[in-house]
Structure 1
Amino acid sequence: MPRLSFKGKVFVENHHLAVPFHELVPVRDKGLSEKASLHDNLIIHGDNLAALKSLLPTYHGKVKCVYIDPPYNTGKEGWAYNDKVNSPLMQDWLGRVVDRDDLTRHDKWCCMMVPRLKLLREMLSEDGVIFVSIDDNEVHHLRCLMDEVFGEDNRVGQIIWHGSTDNNPTNIATEHEYIVCYAADRQALEEVWKSASFGPKAALERIGAELLEAHPEPEERQREYSRWLKEHKAQVKPLDRYKFIDEGGVFTGSQSVHNPGREGYRYDVIHPVTGRPCKQPLMGYRFPESTMDRLLEEDRVIFGADESKIIELKVYVEDYEAKLGSVIAGIDSRRGANEIREIFPEDPQVFKNPKPSTLIGELLSFATDPDSIVLDSFAGSGTTGHAVLAQNAADGGSRRFILVECEDYADSLTAERMRRVIEGIPDANDDALKAGLGGTFSYFELGRPMRQESLLDGSNLPPWEKLASYVFFTATGQEFDPAETDRETGFVGHTGSHDVFLIYEPDMEKLKSLALSLPVARALPAGSRRKLVFAPTKYLDPEFLHQYRIDFQQLPFQIYEAIERLER
């Protein structure tokens, strides 16, 4: 496989391994949850590389769908390379805005992307996928990078999003962007992605229900629906062929009565107005007369103006399952800006070039399950979170989002958008925004690096609480709550499956003799839950540990190095 070469590559290929874990510090008054939790919807303010590394203990292999919209590297975006890589060349890049005339701008972009793509790959579940929005400036480099990181056999495809009209004077008008898709393991994906719930279908179902309630008279109902469809035809593509409505809902006609390739069934279907037999398909009907009688009885047959037209069958929009095509049209890029104006009427220019939530929602409707986790580490205005909540509202799902944003507007824009779309915007024109999509989220700030050496940088061993916080977070990824601890039993906290204990004293002599022994094990609180026990060592065999539902984990090796240092 050809490989892409660029300045700095040798220094960034394994940089993600050197990035330290950081504390994720909850800021409760910025979220919408009573208790902050890393298992809630998440908004994390901080460098996305460090945040991704810090999420690994909790979300490694659990994310079904990643969507990111990184800088397109047009030279006009004002982004700067800020990864602290141990290289004189790259130290010189730090903090310098990448502009159009920067001869290393493509190198910097590739160096920025590589470690992030590698951590995002670690986040994906076995059947997970990643979508990356990009344009002509870097799509060729992105494809090469993703071939290397994910493997070219895991390339799912490349989508063209036709979202704009370019009226600028140029040789070739650019009216599209790309969405590149790769899988963690393409063999684990469903053979065909289909969606029973995506934007156009939901819109047709909604207007159908409204007109059925408001207009019981069939002809008036059809007139109102035809008027609505003419007005919204561009927005409901490719379902604009669903031109009819009856008591069963919105429908279209299908010529699936034809028998393909060989002689089928022959019988007469009488036109209800002319009383004459309707024209038959060239190869006859594909099902027997008894099936046709049932379809006629169920009012599932569409007749033409007279018998000269072959009959069609009603296909209701509720039965429609879309396929994700290589071209997405009908979602205007201006919709994203319109959404921002409706959500932030006091500052409609608060964010430039946001993606429409319907675009991301369409991807989610194909690539996620109702309980999937969706991650966006270039969160921007929070469009991905909005799309997740909207998709849940559309199909009753319980998807969760993880949004990471490094800029200072993580609270005032990203989180504020989530607050407004969750709680509702009274003056919004959109009914869903007006009512609110519901949900919660927890807000976290990226804290200090969680280095083992930082626990041991003084003349004493770390206190019990500090070590408890470290081992609990690195083992579970959950927020440490000192109020839940019990020093007498060593209880640190609990996860969904385990109670966590720490057998430790910040005393060199005591630490030498501490162990998970038979008396200690029997003294642990009783219960059916498994117990994760951190201790210097253990004096129990595997059979006993299995019987008492205990998982043993030895304390970090650096603790013992510190003992030797302090004893010298």
Structure 2
Amino acid sequence: MLPRLQFKGRVFVENHHVAVPFHELVPIRGKGVGERCSLQDNLVLHGDNLAALKALLPTYQGKVKCIYIDPPYNTGKEGWAYNDKVNSPLMREWLGRIVDRDDLTRHDKWCCMMMPRLNLLRELLREDGAIFVSVDDNEMHHLRSLMNEVFGESNFVGQIVWHGSTDNNPTNIAVEHEYIVCYAANKTALEGVWNSAEFGPKEALQQIGAELLEAHPEPVERQREYTRWLKSHKMQLKPLDRYKFIDDAGVFTGSQSVHNPGREGYRYDVLHPVTGKPCKQPLMGYRFPEATMAQLIAENRVLFGSDESKIIELKVYADEYMAKLGSVIQGIDSRLGANEIREIFPEDPRIFKNPKPSTLISELLSFSTDKDAIVLDSFAGSGTTAHAVLTLNRQDGGNRRFILVECEEYADSITAERVRRVINGVPNSRVDAVKSGFGGSFSFFELGLPMRQENLLDGSHLPSWQKLAEYVFFTATGLEFDPTEANENLGLIGRTASHDVFLIYEPDVEKLKDLALSLAVARELPASDRRKLVFAPTKYLDREFLHYYQIDFQQLPFQIYETISGLEP
């Protein structure tokens, strides 16, 4: 049995995510960008992030490829407060107090805040997805313990050190780093290797290569011009500054991947094209058989030295370059985040404290997402993650979508406003991409009322047929509600392999008193080879008729959250 992290309040929060009611997500037209307002669009959600994550489950359970969150570091300076409605007045009073440096239980409160959120984030993550969490030394040890419990110790992917600042304060040890912890939903389903193109340097090398190939068909002159260009641009090309050569196929470097690693490989002579003598062999021989080497030489993929004394290398072209995500990220200054805010909000350059640089998030996403991935950030802050997603889509032609959740009042004025500005463009920005705008769209939603049984019983809040259908279908089947498959006139809300699912309901208290699964209704239900799962306020059919019409009945609202045993997706 794995060790468990013990903290005050754990007994009240470890299953709290299950008790959180589903809420409606209310579209706020005019606050997004684009003609439509849809949960299938890029999203900015305003509301408590725990309730918002629960509300996203019917649409996005198991669909998010990558999650990045930047929760409070709990330094004692943020002044945050836990606001989840746990089932204990005394616990709510304790948890609800502002957390500061003098609070001796601030680490307990942080764990209380994180555990239910991590549980819901795990449910939203795709089987081949990953989550990145920014943290510093204040909560690193607690975070790792929580993540081991929620995601499983075997799904730990790695811990990244981000060297983003310089500490000139008089301390024993200068702290110049933060951490980014990464876990997979299922490490065995994760891609074996994460690779990412270095977009800026790679594009520069591709562009100069194409220009020189057109302007200088003679190889020696072309190489001379490229060497001159490389010398003057070397500092801007890191980590691709080692790409020193150019031929008819483009800019390239040499790789020692002809070496056989760790054990004796193939032994044969490779003749130097100028001297005609055998080239020096790698210590453990070649990794390819002789026929493969002959083919590589014929395809001009082998780089020879000036004479036979140098071991041959394989040509690796700039077009093929893919970087690896290292355990240490350097060269992304933490101050870049504040610089971006100044560019986007020139009228109020200090509108948001300590934002992460979008380049940092882009770096993570470029490795961990495909071009159609969904990216979620439930501590959205200034909207950096959306900025990073839009940047990445511009660079590689992707169609990634973002979901931002922000509970603070600035969700519209800062989070969504930043997204609006980077989509539409900031005219006076010095950054070309920000100035012209990335294009795209997003929809703005607010958290609506909870869908509680008592609200349905007393009629104080009756959701629309489609809203209730969405939640009923998800809670009964665990599947996403598809509005194109639903038919309100027939009461059909969706299908599984074993059942057609129906909802007999109208958002009207008086009509609800008379709505029921009757014999007439049963006869009107469309025939199929699947059983029928029917949600209704009551029924006027006995067991024999239910059996005859192959109906499984569930009463509203009492069985709204019950999953039918044996129901197959």
Give the Cα separation in 2 of the matches to 1:340 and 1:222. Answer: 38
Structure 1 letter corresponding to 2:199: A
Is the counterpart of residue 224 in structure 1 residue 221 in structure 2?
no
The superposition leaves residues 534-563 of structure 1 with CA deviations (integer Å, 9 ceiling, x where unpaired) of: 434496778977xxxxx9763424499xxx
- Out of 521, 528, 549, the position equivalent to 2:525 is 521
Cα shift at 1:469: 5.0
Give the Cα separation in 2 of the matches to 1:553 and 1:365. Answer: 48
Structure 2 letter corresponding to 1:363: L
Which residue number in structure 2 is paired with residue 86 of structure 1?
87
Cα shift at 1:178: 1.2
The 3-state SS of whatever aligns with 1:28 is coil
Cα shift at 1:108: 1.2
Which one is further off, 355-364 or 263-272? 263-272
CA contact (8 A) 1:48 1:404 kept: yes
Which residue number in structure 1 is paired with residue 208 of structure 2?
211
The 3-state SS of whatever aligns with 1:29 is coil
Residues 492 and 341 of structure 1, relative CA distance in 2, 3 Å threshold: farther
Is the counterpart of residue 177 in structure 1 residue 178 in structure 2?
yes
Which one is further off, 448-457 or 426-435? 426-435
Give the Cα separation in 1 of the matches to 2:348 and 2:496. Answer: 42
The 3-state SS of whatever aligns with 1:34 is coil
Which residue number in structure 2 is paired with residue 202 of structure 1?
199
Give the Cα separation in 2 of the matches to 1:108 and 1:124. Answer: 25
Is the counterpart of residue 556 in structure 1 residue 556 in structure 2?
yes
Is the counterpart of residue 373 in structure 1 residue 374 in structure 2?
yes
Which residue number in structure 2 is paired with residue 475 of structure 1?
472
Residues 53 and 297 of structure 1, relative CA distance in 2, 3 Å threshold: same
TM-score (norm 2): 0.82
Cα shift at 1:51: 0.8
Give the Cα separation in 2 of the matches to 1:213 and 1:334. Answer: 35
Residues 286 and 492 of structure 1, relative CA distance in 2, 3 Å threshold: closer
Structure 2 letter corresponding to 1:92: E
In the TM superposition, 1:495-510 aligns within 5 A as 502=504, 506-507=510-511, 510=514
Residues 369 and 538 of structure 1, relative CA distance in 2, 3 Å threshold: farther
In the TM superposition, 1:41-440 aligns within 5 A as 41-93=42-94, 95-190=96-191, 192-195=192-195, 197-198=196-197, 201-215=198-212, 216-217=215-216, 218=222, 219-233=224-238, 237=239, 239-260=240-261, 261-262=263-264, 264-267=266-269, 269-270=271-272, 272=274, 278-282=279-283, 285-287=286-288, 294-440=295-441
CA contact (8 A) 1:193 1:366 kept: no
Structure 2 letter corresponding to 1:220: E
Residues 30 and 209 of structure 1, relative CA distance in 2, 3 Å threshold: same
Which residue number in structure 1 is paired with residue 567 of structure 2?
none
CA contact (8 A) 2:205 2:318 kept: no
Which one is further off, 441-450 or 426-435? 426-435
The superposition leaves residues 509-568 of structure 1 with CA deviations (integer Å, 9 ceiling, x where unpaired) of: 73356357453225x9xx99x9986434496778977xxxxx9763424499xxxxxxxx
The 3-state SS of whatever aligns with 1:24 is strand
Structure 1 letter corresponding to 2:271: V
Give the Cα separation in 1 of the matches to 2:264 and 2:210. Answer: 45
Residues 70 and 508 of structure 1, relative CA distance in 2, 3 Å threshold: closer
The superposition leaves residues 359-398 of structure 1 with CA deviations (integer Å, 9 ceiling, x where unpaired) of: 2223223333332222110011112122222333333332
TM-score (norm 1): 0.82
Which residue number in structure 1 is paired with residue 449 of structure 2?
448
Which residue number in structure 2 is paired with residue 7 of structure 1?
8
Structure 1 letter corresponding to 2:375: V
Give the Cα separation in 2 of the matches to 1:293 and 1:90. Answer: 74
CA contact (8 A) 1:37 1:479 kept: no
Identical aligned residues as a percent: 62
Which one is further off, 410-419 or 427-436? 427-436
CA contact (8 A) 1:450 1:470 kept: no
Residues 113 and 80 of structure 1, relative CA distance in 2, 3 Å threshold: same
Cα shift at 1:57: 1.8
Structure 2 letter corresponding to 1:370: K
Structure 2 letter corresponding to 1:158: Q
The superposition leaves residues 411-439 of structure 1 with CA deviations (integer Å, 9 ceiling, x where unpaired) of: 12211222222233444444433443332
CA contact (8 A) 2:226 2:246 kept: yes
Residues 475 and 322 of structure 1, relative CA distance in 2, 3 Å threshold: farther
The 3-state SS of whatever aligns with 1:341 is helix
- How many residues in Structure 1 have an aligned counterpart in Structure 2? 535
Cα shift at 1:500: 6.7
The 3-state SS of whatever aligns with 2:75 is coil
Structure 2 letter corresponding to 1:393: R
Cα shift at 1:94: 5.5
Give the Cα separation in 2 of the matches to 1:263 and 1:124. Answer: 43
CA contact (8 A) 2:202 2:321 kept: no
Which one is further off, 287-296 or 137-146? 287-296
Give the Cα separation in 2 of the matches to 1:345 and 1:269. Answer: 63
- Provide the aligned C-alpha RMSD in A: 3.7
The 3-state SS of whatever aligns with 1:510 is coil
Residues 538 and 240 of structure 1, relative CA distance in 2, 3 Å threshold: farther
The 3-state SS of whatever aligns with 2:525 is helix
Structure 2 letter corresponding to 1:7: K
The superposition leaves residues 252-278 of structure 1 with CA deviations (integer Å, 9 ceiling, x where unpaired) of: 211233455436444353364x77765
Give the Cα separation in 1 of the matches to 2:533 and 2:38. Answer: 20
Cα shift at 1:400: 1.7
Structure 2 letter corresponding to 1:242: Y
In the TM superposition, 1:535-550 aligns within 5 A as 535=536, 536-537=538-539
CA contact (8 A) 1:205 1:249 kept: no
Structure 1 letter corresponding to 2:81: A
CA contact (8 A) 2:79 2:99 kept: yes
CA contact (8 A) 1:15 1:115 kept: yes
CA contact (8 A) 2:473 2:494 kept: no
Structure 2 letter corresponding to 1:511: L
CA contact (8 A) 2:133 2:181 kept: yes
Cα shift at 1:142: 0.9
Cα shift at 1:203: 1.6
Unaligned runs of 5+ in 2: 217-221, 475-479, 561-569
Give the Cα separation in 2 of the matches to 1:508 and 1:52. Answer: 30
Unaligned runs of 5+ in 1: 546-550, 561-568
